[in-house]
Amino acid sequence: MRAETVVGPTGPTSMPAGSRPLRVRVWPGLSERAALLGPGLPWPAPPAPGPDLEVPDPERLDPERLDLEALAELAEAAELRGRGGAGFPFAVKLRAVAEQAGRTGLAPVVVLNGEEGEPASAKDRVLMTLNPGLALEGLRLVAAALGAETSYAYVSDPAARERIAAAGAVWPGPGALRVVAAPSGYVSGEETAVVRWLDGGPAKPTHKPPRPYESGVAGRPTLVGNVETFAQLARLVRRRTEGDGLTVLLTVGTDRGEHVVVEVPDDRTLGDVLAWLRVDADEVLLGGFFGRFVSTGTRGRPLRELASRAHPDVLGCGIVLALHDTCPVSAVAQVLRYLDRENAEQCGPCFKGIPAMAGVADALAAGTAGAEDVQRLAGWGTSLRGRGDCGTLDAACGVVTSLLEQRADVVARHLEAPCGWCADHPERPEATAFAVPWPAEIKEER
């Protein structure tokens, strides 16, 4: 089978004038064999175990006759969770799609989701650019395990899509690979929006249930997974070596326009990463626009724990946004304005609730909000959670609640008067000021 590239909307592929290169760094000492951003695998990987295929149970993990339960057990033992933001256990997702396929007799569909809608994230595009074969190897293993007849790569960025399509030209099966041009946008990478677009509709989320595992593309049980998640799975299967745990890809950015994509062993702490990169900002928003202001204790926690959702400060899609200058009240107001613009305009509580919250956050930054306004804001942050059909409203509620609970002192001071930063910025910058400039020249630093 050959990959079929579906030509769609194209965007700029040249670098904006004057933009800085995007740095890519791998944790010192992380073995080349263990790194997603390392030298890569032979693609497609040979079917028979060889020197590159140090797997514990090669027979059961041979992609030509792959055992689904072996793959699920491997993902489970490694505690592999979705790296697109939701952090859902991958083994659970895999088994749910397989069970539904068994029940319905329908061949499943597998989707590599490369629509990186969070403006402050670039790790998936970097991974697709540097190592497209690794992501496709993961896609192929899952497709083979599930008996899928069609696999999709859903990618909005033209340059990354070209890399995936070029690697996909030697797609070994099973079935066909379709490389699809996705529309870019905050909601278009949400899994039901992906399914809707692949079925010919708009890339906007739908009501759940049904979730894609129950009824996805063309009504088939569908597994939609993040690019990094598939790559992590491929590495687990193909390059498992003693002592190599999972790694984490992070996009570390600052409000001074510095950005770096890094790969770090997941037993390192957030504080280790910030010290290594010499980022000394007091304020860190973890998880990007779906994020939370981290507490001091969070910096001492291993990334594995922050990815597991066992702790309230979660890694999400791996954005670490360090605020050197920006006041957290202003940052929240900026994020809310962004979410107000980028939501799908489908669910009333979202398209009414977000601008209401943004209005109070703006007033708070301007020093004109009263205690009763803050009380209303806190009420919305709690009562609106879960009332939209995708995560956008929950993102808004999350940053609001994080600000009010974790930065209560800063909020209280703004009831008296705006802080220096807010006073100096009556026209607040767009939240896209936190975005990674893209397209970017990738500069690998070893």
User: Least distance in Å: CB of 435 to another protein?
Assistant: 27
What is the secondary structure of 58-74 as a DSSP string? Answer: HHHH-GGG--HHHHHHH
d(CA 409, CA 335): 20
Q: Which amino acid is at 29?
A: G
Return the number of the residue (213 or 230) whose C-beta is nearest another protein.
213
User: Least distance in Å: CB of 99 to another protein?
Assistant: 19
Return the number of the residue (265 or 381) whose C-beta is nearest another protein.
381
Q: Residue 52: count other Cβ atoms within 10 Å of its Cβ.
A: 12
**Taking CB under 8 A as the rule, does residue 205 contact another protein?**
yes
Return the residue of 31, 383, 417, 429 that touches another protein, per CB under 8 A.
Answer: 383
The three-point CA angle 434-392-118 to 5° equals 30
Contact segment (CB under 8 A) with another protein among 8-16, 199-207, 301-309, 413-421 equals 199-207
**Taking CB under 8 A as the rule, does residue 388 contact another protein?**
yes
- CA torsion through residues 304, 305, 310, 314, sign: negative
Backbone angles phi, psi at 387, to 5 degrees: -100, 0
**Taking CB under 8 A as the rule, does residue 201 contact another protein?**
no
Return the residue of 65, 103, 324, 352 that touches another protein, per CB under 8 A.
Answer: 352
What are the residues facing 154 on neighbouring strands? 113, 180
d(CA 127, CA 84): 13
CA atoms within 13 A on the CB side of 231: 32
How far are the Cα atoms of 80, 109, 158, 413 from residue 144, in angstroms, in the given order?
19, 11, 27, 57
How many whole angstroms from its chain centre is CA 13?
Answer: 22
User: Least distance in Å: CB of 400 to another protein?
Assistant: 16
Q: Which amino acid is at 156?
A: S
d(CA 247, CA 216): 30
Tokens of 78: 């490694």
d(CA 76, CA 83): 15
**Taking CB under 8 A as the rule, does residue 349 contact another protein?**
yes
Contact segment (CB under 8 A) with another protein among 125-133, 243-251, 346-354, 435-443 equals 346-354
Return the number of the residue (187 or 246) whose C-beta is nearest another protein.
187
User: Least distance in Å: CB of 352 to another protein?
Assistant: 4
**Taking CB under 8 A as the rule, does residue 207 contact another protein?**
yes
**Taking CB under 8 A as the rule, does residue 288 contact another protein?**
no
User: Least distance in Å: CB of 195 to another protein?
Assistant: 14
**Taking CB under 8 A as the rule, does residue 58 contact another protein?**
no
Q: Residue 386: count other Cβ atoms within 10 Å of its Cβ.
A: 11
Return the residue of 277, 389, 391, 435 that touches another protein, per CB under 8 A.
Answer: 389
Give me the 213-252 binding string for another protein, x by CB under 8 A, dash otherwise.
----------------------------------------
Size of interface with another protein, in residues (CB under 8 A):
16
**Taking CB under 8 A as the rule, does residue 348 contact another protein?**
yes
Interface residue list for another protein (CB under 8 A)? 204-207, 344, 346-350, 352-353, 383, 387-389
